[in-house]
Structure 1
Amino acid sequence: MAHRVRLLWTQHAVHHSSQDYNIITAIRFGPLESVWSLLAHLPMLLIGFPPELIFFGIIVVLAYQTWLHTELVDKLGPLEWVLNTPSHHRVHHGCDQKYLDKNYAGILIVWDRMFGSFQEEEETPSYGLTTYFNSKNPIKVWFSEFPDLWRNLKSSKSIAEVFGYLFKPPGWKAK
């Protein structure tokens, strides 16, 4: 959802903002991304999943996804059909038009194949955001998406536009 809801993207963009693709990119998170994670997992807790199981699941996914952030591992043969691999995840981090909004998988790439969001890595992607941003200052990186969001909200002419800028995908514009 963090790719499809702009308010959530303000935090997840931190992870995608690096123009380098390495293990450090795996641990770049916005300061409020953990709040979203808590809210996203709350329904599981409310319907009775044990907190330890939820926490274990989060750790497994994060651990698995950490090793995906490398250019050192090439394609992995038949595993590419089922699992999210470094090749698939490089596509996910690409800011090239054909790589945008592709390969959302956490662990299993079969979901992207089923739902039409799969893209094979055809050449090494360009990494980073679609708008140029290059800063090593964590405060600037953490809050880099807010100025444009604020400008859009100020220019809104209706509540519907406000909701559009907050909850529609990044790049959404009022008509």
Structure 2
Amino acid sequence: MADYTTRRVLVDNGSSVDILYYPAFQQMRLGQDQLRSVNLPLVGFGGMKVQLVGTITLPMVVGAYPQQIAKEVNFLVVDCSSSYNAIIGRLTLNIWKAVTFTYHLSVKFPTEYGEGQVQGDQLAARKCYLAMLAVDKHVQTMSIDERRITAEPTEVLEDIPLDKNNPKKFTRVG
């Protein structure tokens, strides 16, 4: 991303935008003059509003040579805490014609030279997830009590054998 190897990028099929977090923007030593101003807030899944620092278009190279793609991505730059450096959303994934495999932490995409792939790191993903839970003060968990309601029989049930050779296989009828 912008000639920097960027780790801790969340691939999010549910996100309608691509996000670059401000600390990552600063570490890339990109100039404030490259930001385009935006006066609209970003509204998250929980309804929380985040004011944007601006937008920026950055070149991205994804994959390993020669199975790689190089595209420009429009990022919304936000100044809020996150254990991620960036989020790649639905729009970019569609432009890349990418297929995500969440179970395998993998993204595959077509290139001129065959199928390209980017592989995530399970341990790093888990650390980011746990860090996000610790950082996000707006996350509240609800305790849900499990209530099992079992119906009591209104009459005595009769055991009917299903296999004469195996007395453990039976059903009850009433």
Pick the structure with more strand per residue.
2
Between structure 1 and structure 2, the one with the greater Rg is 2
- Comparing both structures, which one devotes a greater share of its residues to helix? 1
Normalising by the residue count of structure 1, what TM-score does the alignment of the two structures yield?
Answer: 0.29
- Indicate the structure whose relative CO is greater, using CA pairs within 8 Å and at least 6 residues apart: 1
